[in-house]
Amino acid sequence: MLGLLMPRLFFQFFTQTSWIVEKESGEVGAFLIGFRSQDDPDVCCIHFVGVDPQLRRSGAARELYLLFFETMKQLGCREARAITGFFNKRSQLFHAAMGFDQHGDREIDGVIAYADYDGPGEPRVAFSREL
């Protein structure tokens, strides 16, 4: 099921910066889709990450993030960014544990977020981290 969340175009055009972890069964266990900014080559973005619930707390996401960081440093990036929902506490805690700083323009339900990041009424938490 996790495989349905991965747009094919990312694995066609961002193959050097997007990865899949397969389970023993051959199914997708985790993935990370990222890219380097076309407008600011010092910056890279983790666009989308998914981890099968059975693999959570296994270190799969951490290993994918570390691989992304190292790959992007080798490409000359100096900063990584990511976005998550203000309601996604698990993601917020994970990003904090990975060394990201959290950004926003206000507090929403106890979380610093940008109120209209993805349009009116679509709050998101932004993260950044030096590489």
CB–CB of 60/94 below 8 Å? no
Number of structural domains in the chain: 2
Identify the domain boundary among 56, 77, 98.
77
9 and 40, same domain (yes or no): yes
- Render pLDDT for 38-97 as a digit per residue (tens, 0 to 9): 999 999 999 999 999 888 889 999 999 999 999 999 999 999 999 999 899 999 999 999
50 and 90, same domain (yes or no): no
Identify the domain boundary among 35, 62, 77.
77
Q: Classify 128 as helix, strand or coil.
A: strand
Task: Name the band, by pLDDT with cuts 50, 70 and 90, for residue 10.
Answer: confident
10 and 62, same domain (yes or no): yes
Domain that includes residue 49, residue range: 1-77
62 and 105, same domain (yes or no): no
Q: Quick one: what percent of the chain has pLDDT higher than 90? A: 73
